[in-house]
Structure 1
Amino acid sequence: MDYKEIYKSKIIDTETLMKKILKGNKTVVLGMAAMEPQSFLNNLKDCDFDNLRIFSCLDVVDFPVQKDPKFSSKFLNESWFYSNPTREAANMGIGTVTYIPNNLHLAGTDKLQNDKPDIYWGIASPMDKHGYLTLSLSVVYEKDMIENVDKIVLEVNPNAPRTHGDTQIHISEVDHVIEVDYPIPTIVNATPTKEDELIAGYIADLIEDSATLQLGIGGIPNAVASFLEHKRDLGIHTEMLTQGMIELLNKGVITNKKKTLWPGKMVCTFGLGEESMYDFVDDNPGILFLRGKYVNDPYVIAQNDKMVSINTALMVDLTGQVASESIGFKHYSGTGGQLDTHRGASMAKNGKGIIALHSTAKDGKISKIVPFLPEGTGVTVPRQDVDWVVTEHGAVHLKGKSLRERARLLISIADPVFREELKRIAISNHIY
């Protein structure tokens, strides 16, 4: 079979295709993060559509229509995780953005039970001689959606790395191909602060040789990676593949030899980093991109001995409730895989679920260890699930502890300026 001819027969330009398939009430699910289809997004503002709903996650590309009030009556982006572009549009209050509460391993399947999209539109790496493209840097929910939508559209980009795992899709399954050549979005590692490094030191002390890690994104996780260079035979089973993991692999710190699941392989469900990371990932059989419903399943994660999950938070109250996505009704990000990975790690044999945060915000004016969460704040990790909490003032283990013990431990790692006030409030509410 001549796959090249099949491929050619499906090539179409973005403008023509959008006019053809976006008429009426349509729902489109996009590839996640670096796999957002930029040709589609950039042409939306000039496209005539009636009522368009988009499902997306961790947007890294700005949607011009999200910030234009004239689209508010006929465009809605439903997001599984806010990032800067989505947050900015939501804060404008024009009604073009809303959040979908979720645990990431169920994001796609939960949505499909109630709201099947019409179209999947994402990025793919170029086709090989056997007729296979890959979904490249994300299979969090993409494969689940592809198996259920009516139309599959792929922006085939030579800059998208070819990946191994569950990312392959055959050209016979694809309805339309748009050939593009734009850079894949990158992020630069955040430079750790002094507080990040202090926190990272406490976390590194909790990580044993041959542990399997999940690391999030930001200054604290980046600092943690730099504090692990003396460890041996670490492994990776993570939601997000990051630059720091590749650097530790190149230094021989990560070997994946001692992992319980998939020994010898780094396992992730999406990747976002620098161009050098994408080059390393390209056609690398040692890195497996597997579906989010598998990678982030707490009962899968828990099968890894010495599993350690490291996530960050906005605030923690004195009973151990962790808020990582909103302050009051003001939404910042999302649950993502935080509860998935925290639960999985804390259930694992010799595992640890770690929540890390700075003890203060606003240049030390506000404590992030708080007596009570502000009204409307979403609880990301319930207090009955919380395991370890770390600030620059220490690490405390809360699992199995009473409210009185928790309050005392959390006050001990709050900024010293706020400890007496926190103690006073805890005493007055009979939890100290």
Structure 2
Amino acid sequence: MVRVIAPEALILADHIRPGETLCWGQAAAEPLTLTEALSAQRHDLGGVKAFTGIGWGRITDPAHADAIRFTSYCGTGRNRLLRDAGALDILPVHYSAFEPALARRVDVLLLQLAPGRRPGSYSFGLACEYLWPLVASARLVIAEVNDQVPSTPASVTINEDDIDILVPTSRPVPEPPRAIADPTQTRIAAHVAGLIPDGAVLQVGLGALPAAILDCLDGHRNLGVHSGLFVDGFTRLIEKGVIDNSRKILEPGISVAGLIAGTAMTHRLCHRSDVVRLAPTSQTHALSILAGIKGFTAINSALEVDLTGQVNAEEIDGRYVGAVGGGTDFARGAAAAKSGLPIIALPSARRGRDGSLVSSIVPALNGPVSLARADAGVIVTEEGVADLRGASLSERVERLIAISHPELRETLTAHARQQYLL
């Protein structure tokens, strides 16, 4: 039977054992009351480990590494503070593999839930994704039930019987940091939008560039959503009638996502409506499902692409700033889907630490291969579009140099000739 404990009466040492691994929802789905208690009481736990996704809350502070060993799949958000302090380990697995990987690691699951639509039921609120299987596999489930979290329907259910300790709260929901597209990102967005047909089913990530791409789709019709992430741009397009999911064969009329990261407008849309549905990662990222979505269009970013199409989405200048994430899952799904479109979008160049121009199209990657060249689809920069599907190595080189920064093309061409690629 679930135990109800007031936030001020929660003593974690009474429930968590030394050496155990904790996990909680990421971004706006972090149960802040519980992670704040973990921060304050960490020295009483005898040393614990934690798996964290995108970090927005203050638990991801290097000062907390004195009693908590942090692991994540990404170096984004406040995780960069842990990374820069050398206090962050990385789990480099595909998003589709999170469920079994975490089930083997996690002992204690901390959830943020919303009240459900019927007595004794709860809503995952803002995230279901890799949390759902941990409800069954974790030794202990502690749920913060926040009545200010939107009660979003999901393809799976969670009830009182699934929870060991319930902590009732009422506090505002965090919103994502505001990201404003720069002129380069705006040009990239226009190129990407020109590739997307009416009726496409979209997947995007978080940040200024995905937001700019969605802002360019007002003239489209009958778009759908099947994404790991649901953002404000989707909400705006739903309210304008651009996204109606009318052409989806799988779950028509419904936008499907694993995680919601939006402002109050998105929370209002999701609350007690059937427009958006949360789903576990086994549904949002599964190749067997993605391949069956006609017109599935995967739009993801990268840090750099080499001249043959290999993609680095993880490290830059020796710092882990990205993730393996779902990029490969979605690229393969889009490639396998009828009329699918796998897109990688990035600026053609960036400024180095010394202010010099550094190409994002490179002779050789400066980090790991996050997406193999065999999985590369369409690469987009502000300079244009390079379709690598079915292209030979020399064709790839020519197409990628054509969308590289104009000031760096001559150097890239020389490198390609040295490597006998041209």
When the two structures are superposed, what TM-score results if normalisation uses the length of structure 2?
Answer: 0.94
Partner of residue 73, structure 2? 80
Contact 2:136–2:162 (8 Å) recurs in 1: no
Partners of 1:380 and 1:212 in 2: CA distance: 24
Partners of 2:242 and 2:288 in 1: CA distance: 26
1:154 Cα deviation after fit: 0.5
1:182 equivalent in alignment to 2:133:
no
Q: Where in structure 2 are the equivalents of 1:231-310 lying within 5 Å?
A: 231-310=220-299
CA deviation digits over 1:124-178, x for unaligned, max 9?
1025543101111111111111111111100111111101123531112211111
1:46 equivalent in alignment to 2:40:
yes
Partner of residue 161, structure 2? 172
Counterpart of 1:366 (choices 354, 358, 362) is 358
1:132 equivalent in alignment to 2:121:
yes
Partners of 1:15 and 1:82 in 2: CA distance: 33
**Most deviating of 258-267 and 80-89:** 80-89
CA deviation digits over 1:382-423, x for unaligned, max 9?
111000000000001112211111111100000110000000
| Helix, strand or coil at the partner of 1:278 | helix
Partners of 1:129 and 1:298 in 2: CA distance: 33
Counterpart of 2:412 (choices 417, 422, 425) is 422
**Most deviating of 233-242 and 128-137:** 128-137
Partner of residue 111, structure 1? 102
Partner of residue 89, structure 1? 82
Partners of 2:200 and 2:10 in 1: CA distance: 51
Partners of 2:237 and 2:40 in 1: CA distance: 45
Contact 1:189–1:243 (8 Å) recurs in 2: no
Partners of 1:337 and 1:35 in 2: CA distance: 18
Partners of 1:15 and 1:345 in 2: CA distance: 49
Partner of residue 408, structure 1? 398
Name the aligned partner's letter for residue 383 of structure 1. Answer: R
CA deviation digits over 1:61-93, x for unaligned, max 9?
1216x4127x43x42111122223111112112
CA deviation digits over 1:307-352, x for unaligned, max 9?
1111111111111111111125410021111111111011111111
1:394 equivalent in alignment to 2:384:
yes
Counterpart of 2:58 (choices 58, 62, 75) is 62
Partners of 1:62 and 1:387 in 2: CA distance: 38
Contact 2:122–2:157 (8 Å) recurs in 1: yes
Partner of residue 13, structure 2? 19
Partner of residue 3, structure 1? none
| Helix, strand or coil at the partner of 1:269 | strand
Partners of 2:335 and 2:95 in 1: CA distance: 17
Name the aligned partner's letter for residue 405 of structure 1. Answer: E
Contact 1:189–1:222 (8 Å) recurs in 2: no
Partners of 2:413 and 2:368 in 1: CA distance: 24
1:261 Cα deviation after fit: 1.3
The count of aligned residue pairs is 417
Partners of 1:237 and 1:400 in 2: CA distance: 26
**Most deviating of 192-201 and 16-25:** 16-25
Partners of 1:420 and 1:24 in 2: CA distance: 58
Name the aligned partner's letter for residue 323 of structure 1. Answer: N
Partners of 1:137 and 1:16 in 2: CA distance: 23
